[in-house]
Amino acid sequence: MPAEITLDQLSLDPHQIWHRLRAEGPVVWVDAVNGWVIVDRATAVAAMRDDVTFTVDDPRFSTGQVVGPSMLSTDGAAHDHHRAPFADAFTTSALEDTITWCGEAASRLVASIADDGEAELRTAIGAPLAVSTIVRTLGLSGVDDAEVLGWYRAIVAEVEAIIYGGLDKEKSLAANEALVAAVRRTIEANPAGFLAGAAEHLTTTEVASNVAVIMFGAIETSEAATANALWHLLTHTDQLAMVLENPTLTPAAVEESLRLEPAASAVDRYATTDTELAGVAIAKGDFVQVSLAAANRDLSAFAEPDAYRIDRPNNRLSTTFAYGPHACLGIHLARAETIAAVTAVLRDLVDLRLDHGRSKGPQGLVFRKAAAVTATWRVD
Ligand code: HEM
Q: Which residue type occupies 10?
A: L
Separation of CA 328 and ligand 1 centre (Å) = 4
Give, using CA atoms, the residue closest to atom 39 of ligand 1.
Answer: 326
Assess whether the C-beta atom of 83 lies below 6 angstroms from ligand 1.
yes
Is residue 323 predicted with pLDDT exceeding 50?
yes
pLDDT of residue 3: 43
What predicted TM-score, i.e. pTM, was given to this entire model?
0.95
Q: What percent of the chain has pLDDT over 90?
A: 79
Please report the atom of ligand 1 found closest to the CA of residue 56.
Answer: 16
Q: Domain coordinates of the chain in residue numbers?
A: 7-376
Q: Write out pLDDT tens, residues 106-160.
A: 999 999 999 999 999 999 999 999 999 999 999 887 888 888 888 888 877 777 7
Assess whether the C-beta atom of 213 lies below 6 angstroms from ligand 1.
yes
Is residue 206 predicted with pLDDT exceeding 60?
yes
Separation between Cα atoms, residue 138 and residue 115, nearest integer Å:
32
* 146/163: higher pLDDT: 146
Is residue 38 predicted with pLDDT exceeding 90?
yes
Q: Write out pLDDT tens, residues 207-245.
A: 999 999 999 889 999 999 999 999 999 999 999 999 999
**123: DSSP letter:** I
Separation between Cα atoms, residue 56 and residue 326, nearest integer Å:
9
105-110 contacts: CB < 8 A, separation 24 or more?
Answer: 105/129, 105/132, 105/133, 105/340, 106/337, 106/340, 106/341, 106/343, 106/344, 106/345, 107/344, 107/348, 109/341, 109/344, 110/344, 110/345, 110/348, 110/349
Residue of 221, 228, 290 best suited for mutating to test ligand 1, as the one with most atoms within 8 Å of CB: 221
**189: DSSP letter:** H
Coil, helix or strand for 107?
A: helix
Neighbours of 113 (CB within 10 A): 19
Is residue 2 predicted with pLDDT exceeding 60?
no
Domain 7-376 has CATH 3.10.180.10: no
